[in-house]
Amino acid sequence: MKIKKRKPDFTGYLESDRGFFENNREIINSIFEPDIQNKRKAMETIDFHCQQIDIISAKLVESEARKILLAHPNLKEFIMAMGSAFFTDRQDRVVAISDKSYLKPFDEMICRLDEICRVKGTPMRFTATGKPITNW
């Protein structure tokens, strides 16, 4: 498969911007014309980066959820799997991350990560200091 080469379109840019683009043509062309002659290597690179995104996203969610659990003793456990994420309270009732104002930043973060890499599909369950359970 041959990729059609495109020239950057400078329409609508100021003359000073045009100078920047002209001076950095090699960098800009590498963005517009990526070298993907080796499809296998390109796919391996994409797979590697996707795996790294999944790992980092899950660790970030775990870290932030633990901070919330430690800061709010009324919460007992964090559970995430199959597209859902929530906390439980001391009476084992579900506390949705969208229900409490103090969980709003966490809700926004986890929703954004879910858009990027479907992080809510990563199973995990843990208490503030307990070992994460990922297979139940």
pLDDT band at 68 (very low <50, low <70, confident <90, very high): very high
Q: Name the residue with higher pLDDT: 15 or 46.
A: 46
Q: CA distances (Å), 110 to each of 15, 22, 94, in order?
A: 41, 40, 17
Residue 12 pLDDT greater than 60, yes or no: no
Asked if 128 and 69 touch (Cβ cutoff 8 Å), the reply is yes
**Angle subtended by helix axes 104-117 and 39-71, to nearest 10:** 160
Give the pLDDT score at 13.
47
Mean pLDDT, residues 73-81:
96
Asked if 120 and 114 touch (Cβ cutoff 8 Å), the reply is yes
Residue 111 pLDDT greater than 70, yes or no: yes
* Site of tokens 């503030």: 128
What residues contact 64, with CB distance under 8 A and at least 6 apart?
A: 106, 109
* Domain ranges, ordered by start, for the chain: 39-127
